[in-house]
Amino acid sequence: MIKRKNIIKIAIDSPAAAGAGTLGKALSKNYNLLYLDTGKIYRFIAYLKLKFPKKFSQKFLKSKIKFLSSRDLSKKVLISDKIGIEASIIAQNENIRKIVHNFQLGFAYNPPKKFNGSCLDGRDITYNIVPDADFKFYITANVETRAKRRFLELKKSNKKITYKEVLKSIKNRDKNDLNRKISPLKRT
């Protein structure tokens, strides 16, 4: 793997809707870093699984990830609660994690020359993907505060969604992300 020397690497981990993305984007803008919300990759894979259930295989996934673009990751459909829950299920699969892991390394260690470095946020970034990051953050907040944040965000595109539903799904995802065997969310 090609590793650029003398770059700034920032790693952020957090449970769902705690504000890691807001922090990551602000830091990246300020220090001119390439920013990657790694949750979006798992969300994109969840979207592929729901959209192409019959085609969904490791080979299919590898070919999609190889050509993954920022356009794919900014699809509006990825922010839905349904996709978030599915993402936390497929994120427990070791083979899927391996494919995503390799993709993330290029972003973290070999960002284009115009950037001073990289900033990644997710669940296993500080101890698994970029263990030698120059700065590491663990961002959290109580589950009600996070659910409220996510509810206000989701309400803009889905008028029917309720706070109760969002709270339930965030609790569900916390359970999946904290307790899974492979690369659980943890404070390093």
Report in angstroms the alpha-carbon separations of 90 from 46, 100, 138, 183: 7, 11, 23, 13
Of 5 and 151, nearer to ligand C5P (C-beta) is: 151
| Contacting residues for 174 by C-beta, under 8 A, at least 6 apart | 15, 16, 143
88 binds ligand C5P (CB under 6 A): yes
Select from 12, 87, 108, 154 the one that contacts ligand C5P (CB under 6 A): 87
Report, in Å, the least distance between residue 39 CB and ligand C5P: 2
Site residues (CB under 6 A) for ligand C5P, limited to 5-34: 16
Which three-class secondary structure state does DSSP give residue 35? Answer: strand
Total of chain residues touching ligand C5P, rule CB under 6 A: 16
Of 54 and 169, nearer to ligand C5P (C-beta) is: 169
Sign of CA dihedral 49, 56, 182, 74: negative
42 binds ligand C5P (CB under 6 A): yes
